[in-house]
Structure 1
Amino acid sequence: MSTAAPALEVSDLRITYPARAGRGPARAVDGANLTVGQGEIVALIGESGCGKSTLARALVGLIKPTSGEIRYQGKPLTYSARALKEYRRHAQLVLQDPGGALNPRQNVYDAVAEGPRLHGTTEELNSRVHTALSRAGLRPPERFLHRFPHEMSGGQQQRVVIAGALALDPSVIVADEPVASLDASVRGEILKLILELRDSLGLSALVVSHDLGLAWNIADRVAVMYLGRIVEVGTVEEVLLHPKHPYTKALLSVLPEAGRDQRPTVLTGEPPDPTRIPSGCRFHPRCPLWPELKGAERAAAGCDTRELPVLTADPAPAQAACHLAHGR
Structure 2
Amino acid sequence: MTGRPDESSTALEVRDLSVVYPAARGRGPARAVDGVNLRIGKGEIVALIGESGCGKSTLARTLVGLVRPTGGEVLHEGTALDYSARGLKRYRRHTQLVLQDPGGALNPKQNVYDAVALGPRLHGLTEDLPLTVHDALARAGLRPPEQYFDRYPHELSGGQQQRVVIAGVLALNPSVIVADEPVASLDASVRGEILKLILRLRDDLGLSALVVSHDLGLAWNIADRVAVMYLGRVVEQGTVEEVLLRPQHPYTRALLSVVPTGADDWRPTLLAGEPPDPTAIPAGCRFHPRCGRWADADPDTRAAGACDRRTLPVLAPDTSGAACHLLTSSHLENA
TM norm structure 1: 0.97
* Residue 212 of structure 1: aligned partner: 216
Matched with 2:299 is 295
Equivalent-residue separation in structure 2 for 1:202 and 1:3 (angstroms): 16
- Aligned mates of 2:91, 2:217 — CA distance in 1: 31
Aligned to 1:233: 237
Distance 1:280 1:273, change over 3 A: same
Kept in 2, the 8 Å contact 1:2–1:38? The answer is no
How many residue pairs were aligned? 326
- 2:323 is the alignment partner of 1:321: yes
The structure 2 residue matched to 1:282, chosen from 267, 275, 286, is 286
Distance 2:325 2:204 in 1: 42
For 1:2 and 1:260, the matched residues in 2 are separated by 47
Cα distance in 2 between the residues matched to 1:105 and 1:323: 54
Between the two proteins, what is the percent identity of the paired residues?
74
1:267 aligned residue: 271
Alpha-carbon distance in structure 2 between the residues aligned to 1:239 and 1:68: 26
Contact 1:43/1:208 (<8 A) preserved: yes
Name the counterpart of 2:102.
98
1:3, distance to aligned residue in structure 2 (A):
7.3
Distance of 2:177 and 2:209 partners within structure 1: 5
1:318 deviates by 1.1
Aligned to 1:155: 159
Q: Deviations over 1:250-286 (max 9, x none)?
A: 0001112398753110001000100000000000000
The C-alpha deviation readout for 1:184-229, integer Å capped at 9, x for no partner, is: 0000000000000000000000000011110110000000000000
Q: Cα distance, 1:239 vs. partner?
A: 0.3
Q: 2:43 aligns with which of 39, 44, 59?
A: 39
Contact 2:260 2:266 in 1 (8 A): no
Name the residue aligned to 2:250: 246
Counterpart for residue 28 of structure 1: 32
Aligned AA for 2:194?
A: I
Name the SS of the counterpart of 2:236 in structure 1. strand
Moved more, 258-267 or 137-146: 258-267
Q: CA deviation at 1:154?
A: 0.2
Determine the C-alpha separation between the residues in 1 that align with 2:207 and 2:265. Answer: 37
Give the gaps of 5 or more residues in structure 1: none
> 2: distance between equivalents of 1:322 and 1:52?
20
2:129 alignment partner in structure 1: 125
Q: Which amino acid aligns with 2:73?
A: E
User: Does the alignment pair 1:76 with 2:80?
Assistant: yes
Give the 3 Å change call, closer, same or farther, for CA 118–18 of structure 1 in structure 2.
same
CA distance in 1, matches of 2:90, 2:7: 25
| Structure 2 unaligned spans of 5+ | 331-335
Q: Tell me the TM-score normalized by structure 2.
A: 0.95
Which residue does 1:179 correspond to in 2?
183
The Cα offsets for residues 95-128 of structure 1, whole Å up to 9 and x where unpaired, read as 0000000000000000000000111111100000
For the residues of structure 2 that align with 1:260 and 1:69, how far apart are their CA atoms? 48
The Cα of 1:27 is off from its aligned counterpart by 0.1
What is the CA–CA distance in structure 1 between the aligned matches of 2:329 and 2:7, rounded to whole Å? 34
Q: Which residue of 1 aligns with 2:333?
A: none
Question: Post-superposition, which runs of at least 4 consecutive aligned residues in structure 1 deviate over 4 A?
Answer: 258-261
Deviations 1:83-103 (A, max 9, x none): 000000000000000000000
CA distance in 2 between counterparts of 1:327 and 1:164 reads 45
Equivalent residue number for residue 59 of structure 1: 63
Amino acid at match of 1:35: R
Query: 2:154 aligned with 1:136, yes or no?
Result: no
Tell me what 1:15 maps to: 19
Q: In structure 2, what residue type is equivalent to 1:169? A: N
Q: CA separation of 1:260/1:100 partners in 2, compared to 1, >3 Å: closer, same or farther?
A: farther
Deviation at 1:290, TM superposition (A): 1.1
